[in-house]
Amino acid sequence: MAASGSASSTGESPAHRPSVSAAAQPCAKGSGFELSLASDQDGQAGPVAAARWFAQHGGVAGVPAHGWRVSIRSALAAVVTSGPLVLHAQQGSDGTWQIDSGYHCS
């Protein structure tokens, strides 16, 4: 999974990003980050696997390696949660999943 960009405060999603309804989010957004993915390929087999991979390789501090579950899923996007942390996963053109943003519940 390739990602470029840096951690930043949560902002509006780029128009090309698949989304999950804001009304369906699991909690109020606190501090967060967004990533610009260099590729929409070579991710993980599912959203939970993408969260686990991101915890080890994503470069964002405080992301747990375990306890992830899918709380919301649409055709090309999913929200995965572990404790107070929420990650947004998107499915790429090759069918694999990558994390593109996340936040702590406030």
Higher pLDDT, 74 or 34: 74
DSSP for the chain, please give it: --EES------PPPTTS----GGG-SS-EEEEEE-EES-SSS-BSSHHHHHHHHHHHS--TT--SS--EEEEE-SSEEEEEETTEEEEEEE-TTS-EEEEEEEEE-
pTM recorded for the entire structure: 0.72
Name the pLDDT band for 106 (thresholds 50, 70, 90).
confident
Q: What is the pLDDT of residue 18?
A: 54
41-83 pLDDT, tens digit each: 889 999 999 999 999 998 888 899 999 999 999 999 999 999 9
